[in-house]
Amino acid sequence: MSFERPSLAALIARFSADIEGRTDGSAFLRRSLEGILSRAVPALTSGLWGYLGWILEQCNPMTAELQWLIPWGAVWGLSPKSATNSTGQVRFAATNGTVVPAGASLTRGDAVRYTVDEDAVASSGGVTLQVTAVEATETGNADPGVRMRLASAPAGLNNETGVVLAPGLSGGAVAETASQFMHRVRHAIATPARGGGDGDYVTWALEVPGVTRAWERPKRMGVGTVAVAVVSDNAPDPIPSNALLADVQTALDLERPADMRAVFVLRPVRWSPSMTIKLDPNTTPVQDAVKAELAALFEREADLETPIVESHLREAVSGAVGEYRHKFTSLDSLDPGVWGLPIFDPSRVVFTDYAEG
């Protein structure tokens, strides 16, 4: 039998009735001490009930807040992923013997900044610098071939030749959110380690900084193989970079059992359906509200190789603030296909004035 927490009003009524039953009826005169207590004590009691309810939530890993979820995660060997900085190598053409000191600053074309980790001396016509992004975020990751410049180039170094070396700058990620850590803990609880069995590759992929969701497909590439797709929802583009794919590949190769022939780490195929909606009223605020509802729907229901339900699209549009009526006049296929991942793109939504017929 479930327990129902008494409301504040019920506590006040219960306490007042108890006082009245133990006095001659004069206890609740204006400004009486009993009248004051009949409000103050139930308020205190209600607060205690609330605190007990909060404690109960922290005792369950499915409802605990991050501070108390961390010890639960430790039971399964999990801890929140901290923010990390991108690292990698950049090479410049330089005269042999040219020195680039540790701490020197580099910039990418979009003004993302890096620092040199240790002194480097040019040889064989160039100098290779080990660099780290200044900010701990995904924006510091970069694919091989991306151009770099030193803020202050020493004599003998060609500042126009700086390029990121393979496999790129990687490892940068923002700190894991409470909801993302909860997702990992829940996955670990639901899918205990099986030595490379179902669910293990998702668990291992989610431990890599920057990865927020992962899917595994056993035997997709043949007998003795498993294919894993990952995304990075905290990055400006959730489709992972080559550097992040390389990080995940390295992590899974270290974890996979010896009898697993190969592990393939892939990026999902971006699937953003186009749609045309007759909208009434067809105003900018209502259009923005419709786009916000559709974006929330994709965030809730998007799953690899899983179609978005058409009726859910219509329901989302109907739930937009200010919407009176609407009609879809065109809509792409809602099946994302093999490796397809639904990602909402507001630029692919076209609105027209509503008209009957």
In a domain, 294, yes or no: yes
In a domain, 113, yes or no: yes
Total domain count, the chain: 4
Residue pLDDT, tens place only, 206-221 = 989 889 999 999 998 8
Kindly state the greatest CA–CA separation across the chain. 103
In a domain, 138, yes or no: yes
Q: Are residues 349 and 274 in the same domain?
A: yes
Cα–Cα distances in Å, from 248 out to 179, 206, 221, 253, 267?
21, 9, 17, 8, 11
Cα 269 to its chain centre, rounded Å, is 18
In a domain, 200, yes or no: yes
Q: Are residues 275 and 343 in the same domain?
A: yes
- Residue 187 in tokens: 């996955």
Q: Are residues 275 and 250 in the same domain?
A: no
- pLDDT computed for residue 264 by the predictor: 94
Counting runs of H as helices and runs of E as strands, what totals does the chain give?
8, 16
Q: Are residues 284 and 263 in the same domain?
A: no
Residue 109 is part of which domain span?
A: 87-164
Q: Are residues 276 and 347 in the same domain?
A: yes
Final residue in a domain of this structure, among 225, 241, 267: 267
In a domain, 177, yes or no: no
Predicted structure pTM score: 0.69
Q: Are residues 101 and 155 in the same domain?
A: yes
Number of residues in the chain? 357
Q: Are residues 342 and 293 in the same domain?
A: yes
- Residue 229 in tokens: 């797709």
In a domain, 184, yes or no: no
- Residue 206 in tokens: 């989610």
Q: Which among 282, 274, 276 is positioned nearest to 353, based on CA atoms?
A: 282
Beta bridge partners of 330: 276
Q: Are residues 325 and 278 in the same domain?
A: yes
- The domain that contains 209 carries what CATH number? 3.30.300.30
- pLDDT computed for residue 31 by the predictor: 66
Distance CA 177, CA 234 (A): 9
The ranges of the chain with pLDDT < 70 are 1-3, 21-32, 34, 356-357
- The domain that contains 113 carries what CATH number? 2.40.30
- Residue 43 in tokens: 């308020």
Q: Is 134 left (phi over 0), alpha (psi -120 to 50) or beta?
A: alpha
In a domain, 72, yes or no: no
Q: Are residues 281 and 293 in the same domain?
A: yes
In a domain, 158, yes or no: yes
Final residue in a domain of this structure, among 244, 267, 290: 267
Q: Are residues 302 and 344 in the same domain?
A: yes
Residue pLDDT, tens place only, 55-107 = 888 888 888 888 888 888 888 888 888 888 999 999 999 999 999 999 999 99
- pLDDT computed for residue 350 by the predictor: 93
- pLDDT computed for residue 216 by the predictor: 93
Would strands 225-231 and 262-266 be described as parallel, antiparallel, or unpaired? parallel
